[in-house]
Amino acid sequence: MRRLVFSATVFALTVLLATPAWAVKLDISPGAPDQKEISEIFGLTFGIKAGAGVELWTEPSNTKFTYRDAAGTKKTFGIPFFDETRAGYNYSIGAYVEMRFFQYVGLEIGFSAMRHTLLEDTDWSYTLTANGQTRTFESTTEQQLVFTSFHIPIIIKGILPVSERVRLSLGIGPEFTIGSYSFATFEWTGGDALQGERADFRDLGTKTVNDILLAVVFGVDIRAGNFRVPIDIKFAYNFSQPGDYYDRISYNQLPTDGREVHPTTGTFEARDNMYLQLLVGLAYDFF
Q: Give residue-wise pLDDT tens across range 136-150.
A: 888 899 999 999 999
| Residue 54 reports pLDDT greater than 70 | yes
* Other C-beta atoms lying within 10 Å of the C-beta of residue 62: 12
pLDDT at 15 over 60: no
For residues 254-271, average pLDDT: 93
Dump strand ranges (E) for the chain: 42-57, 64-68, 74-78, 86-101, 105-130, 133-161, 166-191, 203-208, 211-224, 227-238, 249-251, 265-270, 274-285
- Whole-model pTM? 0.82
In this prediction, residue 23 carries a pLDDT of 39
φ/ψ (deg, to 5) at 18: -80, -15
- Counting residues of the chain whose pLDDT is more than 70, the rounded percentage is 86
More confident residue, 128 or 49: 49
Could you read off the pLDDT of 98-108 as tens digits, one per residue? 999 998 999 99
Q: How far apart are CA 272 and CA 144, in angstroms?
A: 12
Neighbours of 134 (CB within 10 A): 8
State residue 199's pLDDT score.
78
CA gap 37, 33 in Å, rounded = 6
- Predicted pLDDT at 37: 66
Q: How confident is the model at residue 33 (pLDDT cuts 50, 70, 90)?
A: low
Band (12; pLDDT cuts 50, 70, 90): very low
Higher pLDDT, 180 or 78: 180
| Cα 155 to Cα 48: distance, rounded to the nearest angstrom | 15
Give the pLDDT of residue 80: 86
Residue 52 has pLDDT above 50, yes or no: yes
pLDDT score at 79: 87
Mean pLDDT of 51-68: 96
Residue 94's pLDDT is what?
98
Cβ neighbours around 137 below 10 Å, total: 16
pLDDT at 227 over 90: yes
Tell me the domains of the chain and their CATH numbers.
Answer: 32-285 (2.40.160.20)
pLDDT at 133: 82
Residue 32 above 60 pLDDT?
no
Average pLDDT, the chain: 87
